Amino acid sequence: MNPKIDKISIMFFTKTQLLLFIFIFQGFIILLPSLSFEEKIPLQDPTPDYIFYNGTIITMEETQLITESVAVLGDIISAVGNESETFRFADSTTQFINMQGATLVPGFIDSHSHWIGDRGLTNMTELTDVIDSLISYGWTSISELFVNQDRLNELQAVDEANLLKIRVNCYLPLGYGFNRFGDWYQTYTPGYEYSPQLRIAGVKLFADGWYLDPVNYINQTEMNQLVQEAHSWGFQIATHSVTPNATDIVLNAYESVIGNEPNNLRHRIEHLVLLRNDQIFRLAELNILGCIQLPWFNSDWNDRIEPLIGRKWAEITGRWQDLLNTGIHLLGSTDYPYVLGDIRTPLGAIATAVTRIGTLGDTPTDFMLNQTITPEQALRTLTIDGAYGTFQENIKGSIKFGKLADLVVLSDNPLTIPETDLKNIEVLMTMINGEFEYIKPDSPDTTSSLSSTSMISTTSGTLGSTSTTIPPLTTSAPFLPFIILGVLLIGIIRTRNK
């Protein structure tokens, strides 16, 4: 090797090393305060209060409809998966809910009802009695579609007293029949939450009456004006429409504010009793939500529909399956107490929509049977799609990590039980906000009924780990500057010794 060339190479390499050494050392001094030599990584799923297991869990999530176990921490679902995945987070404080073969579903949502406001039409007069009954049926959320100022004041008072255990979405009426209530609703904010239990959801309009008395309450000009005003204030609009003429007016008004844009405020039409084909396609094109009443148009109505309105109209009545086939978002409801046959429960509503057999047990007509829907479709209208109807699909409506712990335990699986037995499924438990608000009392004659003593048991923690954090993780990343410095120093020393 040429001594002159070798000397130049050594000198160049040495200067480069020194520059790198100075640069890295300065960076290390700057970063030193932020470096941690031991990092603890917290679990996303801390020790749960409850774990449901040993049953079927219907999540209503498209990616995984069925799972094994669910953990609840506070008012939130903290883990969903197989039992080994949820058990490992438990300790001696966790209560294991042995479902003994029962089925867990998301809490049911009644998207159109008058349970509270029109309770005077039923045998329930006290508001707290209505709430307790709803929870025992498995309802965890309801939408009240006629909440005037007096009714809103009552709900607020009950909520402030911590007695409103069920979630209520309020729709403020702009009028009723030919009467108009003015702009009173504009003092409220769309989507405003008084609490997790009480919320302003939207406004309510009436386009007509009932199919046996098809009176239009509003003309196109006034409907356009009311819709435009409520839309400009940011309110979701829910419009009662039963007959085809009224539905044309509503669709025209909605199109006037939506145009070619998405239906971002999720305007909806209630009932949709009589629908032409062109109206179904127009609903889909505008992406208008449809709110249907699952207990309606069953065999109990046999002597009320075709004999009174004729076969032509009967064949376009209650077209639930046609609406679903067109891709329309359908919200399930009861409209209670305005339902023939006193069908109050989610399972009663599902059974009716699936079979179209009423409480009298008569055979449904052909047009009814042509519009039956599947148990899963009916479940979706009362869970995740119901949540979508009030912009709450991200917090409820399905069993998913991070969503609200609104859950219902059923005595059987509605997806596998014979359809004629759907009406016999019982609600064994109702949980809202992570609290058991209803547990079915012991029944000596029903061995499948699960009570507070047989269904909830506290373990000693042998099923899971007591740790709420992953053991400390030691990382070599903070030592990387030391390693680089050491290599460079060795290189400098060796070079100078040559």
- 163 and 19 assigned to the same domain: no
Contact present, 237 and 267 (Cβ < 8 Å):
yes
- 358 and 218 assigned to the same domain: yes
Assess whether pLDDT exceeds 80 at residue 489. Answer: no
pLDDT of 19-66, one tens digit each?
444 444 454 444 443 333 322 223 344 899 999 999 999 999 999 999
Range of the domain at 8: 3-39+472-497
Q: What percent of the chain has pLDDT over 90?
A: 73
- 35 and 112 assigned to the same domain: no
Assess whether pLDDT exceeds 50 at residue 480. Answer: no
Distance CA 445, CA 449 (A): 9
- 24 and 151 assigned to the same domain: no
**What is the end-to-end Cα distance of the chain in Å, rounded?**
14
How confident is residue 412, by pLDDT bands cut at 50, 70 and 90?
Answer: very high
In a domain, 390, yes or no: yes
Instruction: Give the least confident one: 44-58, 106-120, 269-283.
Output: 44-58
**Dihedral class, residue 350 (left if φ above 0, else alpha if ψ from -120 to 50, else beta):** alpha
In a domain, 389, yes or no: yes
Lookup: tokens for 350 = 């599902």
Q: What is the mean pLDDT of residues 67-89?
A: 96
- 188 and 304 assigned to the same domain: yes
The pLDDT, as a whole number, for residue 361 is 93
- 12 and 156 assigned to the same domain: no
- 292 and 182 assigned to the same domain: yes
Cα dihedral value 354, 358, 360, 361, nearest 10: -20
Distance CA 51, CA 44 (A): 16
The pLDDT, as a whole number, for residue 14 is 54
Q: What is the mean pLDDT of residues 178-198?
A: 97
In the chain, how many domains are there? Answer: 2
Assess whether pLDDT exceeds 90 at residue 153. Answer: yes
pLDDT of 339-367, one tens digit each?
988 899 999 999 999 999 999 999 999 99
Q: How many CB atoms lie within 10 A of CB 84?
A: 11
How confident is residue 463, by pLDDT bands cut at 50, 70 and 90?
Answer: very low
SS3 5: helix
In a domain, 447, yes or no: no
Q: What is the mean pLDDT of residues 114-123?
A: 93
Describe the chain by its helix, strand, coil percentages, rounded to 5.
Answer: 35, 25, 40
Element (H, E) at 344: none
- Chain position carrying tokens 């080994």: 84
- 260 and 351 assigned to the same domain: yes
Counted residue by residue, the chain has a size of 498
Domain harbouring 230, CATH code:
3.20.20.140
In a domain, 406, yes or no: no
Distance CA 370, CA 376 (A): 17
In a domain, 262, yes or no: yes
Assess whether pLDDT exceeds 60 at residue 413. Answer: yes
Single out the residue in 365, 394, 423 at which a domain terminates.
394
Single out the residue in 362, 394, 426 at which a domain terminates.
394
In a domain, 207, yes or no: yes
- 24 and 137 assigned to the same domain: no
- 13 and 125 assigned to the same domain: no
In a domain, 415, yes or no: no
In a domain, 73, yes or no: no
- 240 and 325 assigned to the same domain: yes
- 261 and 377 assigned to the same domain: yes
The pLDDT, as a whole number, for residue 1 is 46
pTM for the model stands at 0.82
Single out the residue in 366, 394, 422 at which a domain terminates.
394
